[in-house]
Amino acid sequence: MQNEKNELGKKELLSRVLKAFFSLTFLKDTLYTFSFHLLNRTYGIIKTNKGKNVKIRPNVLLRDPERIYLGDNTTLGTGNILWAGKESAVIKIGKNVMTGPSVKIFAFNHGVEISQTPMIEQATTEKDVIIGDNVWIGANVLIMPGCNIEDGVVIGAGSVVTKNLPKNSICAGIPAKVIKKR
């Protein structure tokens, strides 16, 4: 008797999984997600200004890529997002830079004024992000607009960079600050 109930439960579960898998919503979402990432990745890689021997790992999103510059021997880790300014702000990354997974670098931010205009429609602010040569950016680092990261900097995992970081320093924290010199 118990085996029959288990068998019915398994069949019911399988039926529900198959219905969900082949539902119109699932197929539509899968197609949208696939095409979004394929088009954004392809467009981003084609339009980004790259030096020699640049490695862009899977799931990297490059938005407004014509204003992104990657130096020779730079590696972008899996799941990175680089989003240049919508009008003019650039992201410039020097030579021999490596980023861990899920690094986010933004050269713009939305307005936050209290007004009749919804936040999503407010003007953005833009500032260049400049990253020097021989920089290591750890996993899950967030770099905000207007930051200048000089040559030889190491940024610890999970840090939030909100200001300039000096040459040959090891930085970490929220907000990131110098914890020692290299």
Looking up tokens 């260049």 gives 128
Looking at the structure, tell me whether residues 75 and 30 fall in a common domain: no
Tokens (6 digits) for 48: 């980004």
Does the pLDDT of residue 2 top 60, yes or no? no
Listed residue (60, 63, 134, 130) closest to 102, CA to CA: 60
pLDDT in tens, 145-168: 999 999 999 999 999 999 999 999
Please compute, for residue 137, the number of CA atoms within 13 A of its CA located in the half-sphere on the CB side. Answer: 31
Annotated catalytic residues are: 110
Question: Where residue 6 falls among pLDDT bands split at 50, 70, 90?
Answer: low
Task: Name the average pLDDT for the chain.
Answer: 90
pLDDT in tens, 38-88: 777 788 889 999 999 999 998 899 999 999 999 999 999 999 999 999 899
Looking at the structure, tell me whether residues 27 and 79 fall in a common domain: no
Question: Where residue 8 falls among pLDDT bands split at 50, 70, 90?
Answer: low
Q: What is the pTM of this model?
A: 0.81
Looking at the structure, tell me whether residues 63 and 79 fall in a common domain: yes
The CATH number of the domain holding residue 117 is: 2.160.10.10
Measured over the CA atoms of residue 167, residue 173, residue 177 and residue 179, the dihedral's sign is: negative
Does the pLDDT of residue 5 top 70, yes or no? no
Q: How far is the C-alpha of 63 from the C-alpha of 173, rounded, in Å?
A: 26
Tokens (6 digits) for 86: 């919508």
List, edge to edge, every strand of the sheet that includes 129-131: 49-50, 68-70, 91-93, 129-131, 148-149
35 lies in which domain range?
A: 1-47
What domain count does the chain have?
A: 2
Looking at the structure, tell me whether residues 95 and 150 fall in a common domain: yes
Looking at the structure, tell me whether residues 61 and 120 fall in a common domain: yes
Question: Where residue 1 falls among pLDDT bands split at 50, 70, 90?
Answer: low
Listed residue (88, 33, 34, 90) closest to 62, CA to CA: 90
